[in-house]
Structure 1
Amino acid sequence: MSTGIGQQSKKRRKFERQVLSEESELESEDELNNTMTPTPTNQPAISSYDELYKSLMEGFRTLMNEKTETLATKEDLNKFQGTVSQVLEENKMINENVNHLREENKQLRNYVESLDARLRRNNVVLNGMVMDPTKNVKEEVMCLLRDVLRLEDLNYAGMNVRSVGTNRPIIIEFAHPKDVYKVLANSSRLKGTRFYLSKDLPPNQRARRNKMLRLRYEIRKACPSINPKIVQDRLEINNTLFDWETDSLKSGKKDGLAVLLTLTGIDFSAIVERIQNFKPTAKETPT
């Protein structure tokens, strides 16, 4: 009898474990369902893939419309291109007018400079003479021209002398250009003295002449067989003329350095640059 009671107790305990296990599984399934259940929203649910595709396309079209509202149309691009063309044409006209004005300005400057040079054509500049206030300037200059240059046939009666300060250059004014030529032709006799004679030129023309004098000196040193000449403020080599224009050397409309290279076989670009940046004084001007 005790054996039957033991078997019944075992069956009861087994039944209780099964019930507890089933209850535990039900609780886990309820928790999983609660977790996966979406939170209700105010928007209507999409019931099919077609409606989902339609909704996505609707949103995409709305976004594209918003982005393309500010894009330029073909008509806008044509208007912009027309405006750019008009601005370019106006800019071209302005550049042409500026170039024309520059050329006119250059011509006017040359004309004024030529008038100034004509007014100075009977003048000679004397450097190196320290004036004594107790002596007569004209008499001192006449002694220099007669005793050193040995010029007796000048028109001394029509000669005028102007000086500003004691150490400033002296302007000698003659009555006729032929007296100027005689003085300059004999100025080599002053070599080795502190005196220096030169033709009276306008400031810009004198600056160009000084540059050409230095360039002639360098050419003679590098090419002894070539004999460059100075004509006013220009340099002449084998009937080819060179000019200083602003900050460059020109030969007509050609690059002066290229023409000089052809004539001499030497590149003078570094020397020309050094001359351009150099400001000679009367004592430093080469002859």
Structure 2
Amino acid sequence: MWGANFQPPSELKHKHFEKVDSINDIINEFEEYVSEDSSWEGIHDSFKPIMDLKEGNKYLITEDEYNEYKNVESIVKTKVCFLKTDEEWCFFATRGDGNKSPKWYFIKPNNEKEVFTEFSEICEQLRLHVSNKSSIAKWNDKYLRKYISILQDKEIELLPAKKRRALKVAEIILEAKLKDKSLDYRYKSKVKELLKLFRPKVRDVDFEAYAKLWIEILQPYLDDKRNRNNSSRYVYNFNNLTSKVEINRIKIPYEKLEYIINELPVHENIDYKIASCIVGIPI
């Protein structure tokens, strides 16, 4: 569960090791630092709600049940469970890979906050809606498809803030390029193709990879803006590239547009990325 969900303590980033004669010296000093420094306590705390699902007085599964499944090596495409409940809700756990960590989502379509992404919130929702008194319901494709559709519609919205911002700004820039009378039909055709990629249901786009491509394109222009305003205390981000003046400064060659379209990684549809889910069926 760590991967991209893990952020090292800021104190560690400024830690300078004194014993650097050998790798073993560095390791020993690092272990001493970890054992003595309280900044690592927050890491344990952030995952404590997950551990509490199998420990403590309010566990949802027993230690024996956890150990029974922990070392299972057989592959199951997706595990789905339907429960009889008082309201609509759904829990999703997606698969991780070498580049991405697994993620959890809890959906309550009739709630003010429709999708929960923080572990603490999700664990709290699981405790509210799942217990040893919960009853199994029959398979219900209607509700399963409904929740998958909600998750798919929110793929961009659920990205980390910087990547989400990069895609939003990229879309604004492309829309502006589409209206630029100085650009020819061939260029604008590629722009239209790229704009279609912002629609989750049009093509199974790897939005994290798409956002990363746009960050690489936009970052030099953001750096340039910061350099032009280095005396200002204002903190600039990608949103500051959406004015008409800044958009005119951004030159994206036709070959770059073509490269993005041809090389952009495409992943399996989101319902194939789901490792397991629990679907609440209101009775």
Same fold (TM over 0.5): no
Question: What TM-score does the superposition give when structure 2 sets the normalisation length?
Answer: 0.23
Which has the larger share of helix?
A: 1
TM-score for the superposition, normalised by structure 1: 0.22
Q: Which has the higher contact order (CA 8 A, sep 6+)?
A: 2
Q: Which of these two proteins has the greater Rg computed from alpha carbons? A: 1
